[in-house]
A and B are shown apart, each in its own frame.
Chain A
Amino acid sequence: MTHDLSSVVGGFAHEAFGSQAVFRSALQALSHPGRCVPVKQNSELPRHGHAAAANFLLAMLDAECTLWLSPSLRGSDADMWLRFHTGCQLVERADQAQFVWVGAADPLPPLHSLRQGSDEFPDHSATCLVDVRYLSATGAPEKSADAQVWTLTGPGIRDEATLSVAGLPTDFVSQWVNNHAGFPRGVDLFLATGDALVGLPRTTRINTLAEV
């Protein structure tokens, strides 16, 4: 653990308003799975990690929270920044963490290996933030090899929602099917780009379109 503050930048310009605005965005994102919810920039940011995810964690974490960072974020200025401003505890293993942040360059840890909660306390599960390269709720896919187009159904979605995303592992949808099947246990997920969040609560079903 280093205590070198030289890379740390400021947090929310106004702590209460800043974190409440982000909390509102996160609430919107989980209430309407698949919708791209903009996250207003109201803090200085570390160089590593996507801004929406950084803002989310800055708003959510406190000294009692455990956080796991993927290899590209661990030891970076984002690591120091979150620990300085929130006092959160970093843990070595992803399965011990309440919050998991996976950088865009890093592999996603298997969802079933994260904290699932229990049938009595499903809220003791992990919340997972995944930095992705591209998100679009209109369904227009990015032209790249790992782009995926999904239709989403479940609570919070009237009929179905479309989401295209790039930067997730190819077996993500099958992992998600298992995560959904474990209800009420399972993890909740946020996909994050530079300026927006998409919420994927464990209740959401993902169907892939046959042809992308």
Chain B
Amino acid sequence: MLHAFDSPGAKHQLSRPNWMALLARAPLELLETALRPFDQTPPRWLRMPETGLMMVQGRASGTGERFNLGEVTVTRCALRVAGAAQEAPVGVAYVMGRSHRHAQLAAVADALLQDPSHNAALAVKLLQPVREHLAHEQQQRQQRVQSTKVEFFTVARESGSDDADEENAE
């Protein structure tokens, strides 16, 4: 699932759930830089950033029974970009953690991405770097984990030979 959100995919146009997932995990610096031109005046709030808890559910091995994994802190907000029309698209963000600023910028980006005149430019300026950043992060994590890899094959063979020794001793 994680993979599906990060890869650009066959379609050129990203769907809204995809970019919202990207924005929610984007580092704050990238959002700040890309959205600076749209962040000069405060947005028109529909819902100010507010922090709360959400229950995360998981399935054992991705297919088993659903169970409550635990609660995570989530900050959400909804807004219209400053200077936009009365019925302009509403930007919504649900972001893990308690950064109000992150939620605000993610919502601004969501609102702009729904606007065809900004969509293409912002996809290049913001979403692409975010995607690269996340891919890079994941690669680093994989490398870190790689060093702790255990060769279960070897362990199994050793334990097998132990058994043989015990049998011989008897």
On A, residues with C-beta under 8 Å from B are 5-11, 15, 84-85
Contacts and interface: CB of A to CB of B under 8 A. Distances in A.
Contact of B90 (A8, A11, A15, A85): A8
Counting chain B residues whose Cβ lies within 8 A of the other chain, the interface size class is: 10 to 19
A84 B46 CA distance: 9
Contacts of A7: 87
B47 A85 contact: yes
B87 A6 contact: yes
Interface of B: 44-48, 78, 86-90, 92
B81 to A, nearest CB: 13
Contact of A11 (B46, B86, B89): B46
A6 B90 CA distance: 6
B15 to A, nearest CB: 15
Contacts of B45: 10
The A interface, classified by DSSP as helix, strand, loop or mixed, is loop
A74 B61 CA distance: 44
Closest 6 CB pairs of A and B: A5-B90, A6-B87, A10-B46, A10-B45, A8-B46, A7-B87
B47 A5 contact: no
Contacts of A6: 87-90
6 contacts: A5-B46, A6-B88, A6-B90, A9-B46, A84-B78, A85-B47
A118 B117 CA distance: 58
Contacts of B92: 5
B167 to A, nearest CB: 67
Nearest to A5: B90
Contacts of A10: 44-46
A193 B88 CA distance: 29
B87 A11 contact: no
Nearest to A85: B47
Contacts of B46: 5, 8-11, 84
Contacts of A8: 46, 90
Given A8-B46, A84-B46, 17 more contacts: A5-B46, A5-B78, A5-B92, A6-B87, A6-B88, A6-B90, A7-B87, A8-B90, A9-B46, A10-B44, A10-B45, A11-B46, A11-B47, A15-B48, A84-B47, A84-B78, A85-B47
A127 to B, nearest CB: 25
A24 B46 CA distance: 24
